[in-house]
């Protein structure tokens, strides 16, 4: 009986807390349920990484509560475009452009500078695009820089659901290169596999330089507020980026 009472009390308090939250102060942010550290990761039901600390800091400073809804990449796009989440991170106006047509989407100022490129074993640094026959990437990601070659059948794409598996696949030579964020590959080699330098970003191969943004269809007011907050906290955010190494191998170039 006592246990039932405690459960009932807990549910009542939870309901009270939710109803007591002022309208518009809860931010529902759609995120990827992938391991993509140091930018972000979703592991054992917890969203973490640079993005989590950044967005939590903004919410705390501005008096918001945040709920992270982690979804597979295809479902995340659908949830965002259908209005099931208030925000999407990361996002970029050049991704899935056909699905953005006719929608008023508001983007924050750049949050993270990103190079998406091909990392290869050191012995393949002389490779050209013609010698990359099998390219590895993460499921749900689109290697834009390689699209012409992929469509022409000059290169085939191998997708992997796990980042560490993609890196191991590349190290073993089962794919000729791994296409992903350079900073993310560096983190995986340095922090997870403890093999720094085992793969190297080959700048002679197709790559893109871009940014991650926070995006919203529903809450342009919060996007504006987030932009102001980032400007006011530039030094603080720079320190956070260095802590995670989120732009390692990107902004130094």
CA atoms of 145 and 124, how far apart (whole Å): 19
- DSSP state at residue 110: P
What is the reported pTM? 0.82
| 131: Cβ contacts below 8 Å, ≥ 6 apart | 124, 176
Cα first-last separation, the chain? 65
Average pLDDT of span 114-130: 94
CA atoms of 197 and 214, how far apart (whole Å): 31
Architecture label for domain 113-209:
3-Layer(aba) Sandwich (3.40)
CATH code assigned to 2-111+212-244: 3.40.190.10
Categorize the per-residue pLDDT at 23 as very low, low, confident or very high, splitting at 50, 70 and 90.
low
Quick: pLDDT tens for 69-111.
Answer: 999 999 999 999 999 999 999 999 999 888 898 899 999 999 9
Q: In whole angstroms, how far apart are CA 28 and each of 114, 178, 238?
A: 24, 32, 25
User: Can you give the pLDDT at residue 22?
Assistant: 62
Nearest of 90, 125, 95 to residue 110 by alpha carbon: 90
User: Can you give the pLDDT at residue 21?
Assistant: 52
Highest mean pLDDT among 16-20, 140-144, 230-234: 230-234
- Are the folds of 2-111+212-244 and 113-209 the same? yes
pLDDT at 39 over 80: yes
Report domain extents, the chain.
Answer: 2-111+212-244, 113-209
Q: What is the separation of C-alpha 147 from the centre of its chain, rounded to a whole number of angstroms? A: 21
What pairing do the DSSP bridges indicate for beta strands 156-160 and 200-201? unpaired
Quick: pLDDT tens for 195-248.
Answer: 999 999 999 999 999 999 999 999 999 999 999 999 999 999 999 999 999 997
**β partners of residue 180:** 117
CA atoms of 247 and 194, how far apart (whole Å): 19
Exposure string (b/e) for 116-140, b if CB count within 10 Å is 16 or more? bbbbbbeebeebebeebeebbbbee
- Count the neighbouring beta carbons within 10 Å of the beta carbon of residue 60: 11
Cβ atoms 219, 226 nearer than 8 A? no
Long-range contacts of 221-227 (CB under 8 A, 24+ apart): 222/27, 222/64, 222/86, 222/87, 223/106, 223/107, 223/108, 225/62, 226/58, 226/108, 227/108, 227/109
What pairing do the DSSP bridges indicate for beta strands 112-120 and 208-216? antiparallel
């Amino acid at each position: 009986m006592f246990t039932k009472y405690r459960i009932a009390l807990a549910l009542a308090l939870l309901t009270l807390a939710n109803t007591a939250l002022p309208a518009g102060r809860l931010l529902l942010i759609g995120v990827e349920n992938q391991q993509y550290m140091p930018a972000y990761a979703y592991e054992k039901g917890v969203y973490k990484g640079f993005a989590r600390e950044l967005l939590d800091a903004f919410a705390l400073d501005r008096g918001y509560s945040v709920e992270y809804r982690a979804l597979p990449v295809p479902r995340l796009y659908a949830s965002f475009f259908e209005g099931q989440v208030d925000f999407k991170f990361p996002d970029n106006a050049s991704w899935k452009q056909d699905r953005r047509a006719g929608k008023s989407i508001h983007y924050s100022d750049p949050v993270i500078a990103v190079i998406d490129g091909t990392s290869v074993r050191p012995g393949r640094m002389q490779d050209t695009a013609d010698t990359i026959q099998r390219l590895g990437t993460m499921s749900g990601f689109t290697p834009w820089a390689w699209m012409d070659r992929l469509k022409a059948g000059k290169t085939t794409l191998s997708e992997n659901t796990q980042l560490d598996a993609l890196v191991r696949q590349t190290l073993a030579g089962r794919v000729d290169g791994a296409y992903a964020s350079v900073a993310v590959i560096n983190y995986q080699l340095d922090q997870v596999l403890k093999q720094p330098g085992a793969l190297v970003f080959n700048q002679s191969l197709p790559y893109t330089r871009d940014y991650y943004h926070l995006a919203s269809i529903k809450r342009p007011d919060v996007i504006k507020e987030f932009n102001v907050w980032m400007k006011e906290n530039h030094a603080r955010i720079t320190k956070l980026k260095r802590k995670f190494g989120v732009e390692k191998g990107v902004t130094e170039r």
